[in-house]
Amino acid sequence: MKQPAAAPAATNKAVFLDRDGVLNREIGDYVWEPDKFIVLPGVPEALARLKQAGYYLIVVTNQAGIAKGLYTAANVQACHAKLQHACGDLLDALYYAPSHPSVSESLLRKPDSLMLEKALARFRLDPAQCWIVGDRLRDLEAGARVGVRGILVGHTEAGTQAPWAADLRAAAELVVASGQAA
């Protein structure tokens, strides 16, 4: 009796990207209106650098304002369309968690890792070759749950030993340099 062929091993690599504070300006409140959605300087160039180095680019963002009734999924998708356009359509996938702990629980919401798990399966990613870039420890915690290394951007949070970069451009250089050293 012939045995079924084993599934090929995952070999692809990706950079998971938090949205607010990494890709677009954090405004201290929910960012859901396209006219207030401002892509940060250097983001398109950083994404192009990562793409050139062979990484899938996957956005993973908590969007609690949906659960709170402040805005809709269509508002989030409009912001994502603006982001894609500004970045030359380099993003391979955009995942968002529409829940908030005060309203509903979800494994999608970071620091849980379901958004990353979905992308790992969809793109056949090797977690050991992946990174997550975020501006909060919860972003890095979601990555750690699935074996993905993290880089904190923008500021450091007390008690963290995570690699740090000033912005996405600097984080992209760390990621690319690590891949060349491997």
pLDDT score recorded for residue 59: 98
Residues contacting 154, CB < 8 A, separation 6+: 21, 22, 135, 166, 167
Amino acid at 160: T
CATH number of the domain at 19-181, out of 3.40.50.300, 3.40.630.30, 3.40.50.1000, 3.40.50.620? 3.40.50.1000
* Residue-level pLDDT, tens digit, the chain, 182 residues: 555 555 455 579 999 999 999 999 998 889 999 999 999 999 999 999 999 999 999 999 999 999 889 999 999 999 999 999 999 999 999 999 998 776 666 888 899 999 999 999 999 999 999 999 999 999 999 999 999 999 999 876 666 778 899 999 999 999 999 876 55
- Nearest-CA neighbor of 133 among 164, 97, 176, 95? 164
Choosing from 20, 135, 139, 167, the catalytic residue is 20
pLDDT at residue number 104 = 64
3-class SS of residue 146: coil
Known catalytic residue at 18: yes
| Spatial separation of the C-alpha atoms in residues 116 and 16, rounded to whole Å | 8
For the chain, domain boundaries: 19-181
Examine the residue annotation and report whether 126 is marked as an active-site residue of this protein: no
Q: Is the pTM of this model over 0.85?
A: yes
Residue of 18, 112, 135, 139 with catalytic role: 18
pLDDT of the residue at 39: 98
Contact 172/50 with Cβ under 8 angstroms?
A: yes
